Structure 1
Amino acid sequence: MTDRRDTPVRHIDRDAFVARAADERLSLPLLDRATGADRVSASLIRTPTGGGSPEGLHTHAFEQIFYVLEGLMHLEIDEERHVAGPGSLVVFPEGVPHRNWAPEGPTLHLSINVPPPAEGVPVAVPVAAPVERKGWLRPSS
């Protein structure tokens, strides 16, 4: 799906990625330490209808940016709810609790991490769910 040679232009077969099982969350690493990027990582991620952040509400030890390509992504960022559609840029500062989910249909987004996650360190650190913090209910469709 991705030409991972050490070249400045890499082919990504987006259609093949999107055509894979529609009911699964898929992540395609595009750029990471394994491909020679020490300061940034990028992945193409598809979230199926009803899916969301695998860790639930979580934080990162790096900044994370999403660029929404398809669908409506529902988000909770630092206890505030948002909806982001195609063309939306979503910024998650380091250490800020957040999660995303797709109740209305699948989403496709580009995820960028700066700096890339360090080896041996969990990418996402789960935090207490809102129901445990403020009596909020889990996101629903």
Structure 2
Amino acid sequence: MTDSTDRRPPGCRVPLIVLFTLVTLVVTSVSARPTAHTSKPKAAQALVQFLTSAHSRQILAEIGGFAPTRDSVYDRARGEYLVQVRRALQDAGPRPTNRNYTEFGRAFRNAVKSVVTAQDVISGDTARELAEIPRK
């Protein structure tokens, strides 16, 4: 019996985990992105078509935990995780337009960091700063 890391797409000789790793490296690497000046335009086109295909999006969602960019992936979701992601995206609203949004975000991240580290507490100064930023 093979485990999930050895599963392969139909007709593919590469295990999904290897394929996923390669796709992740390509997607996150600026130097690996195809350009108009590539010496291999057909290969670049095939790569872009694969990376944007429903099958690729399904692999990235199921194995990598990435939020799918295609509705068809959510439609074929096999678990509660993607149902919850879809619901969260449907219920999401735009970011606040407060001119101090960035400053508040920084202060909020620092507050969360202090709670999840050894400090395990939000200081009074941080709480005051968070309360004051939106009033500026």
Larger Rg: 2
Give the TM interval when normalised to the shorter protein: under 0.3
Q: Which has the higher contact order (CA 8 A, sep 6+)?
A: 1
More strand by share: 1
More helix by share: 2
TM-score normalized with structure 1 length: 0.23
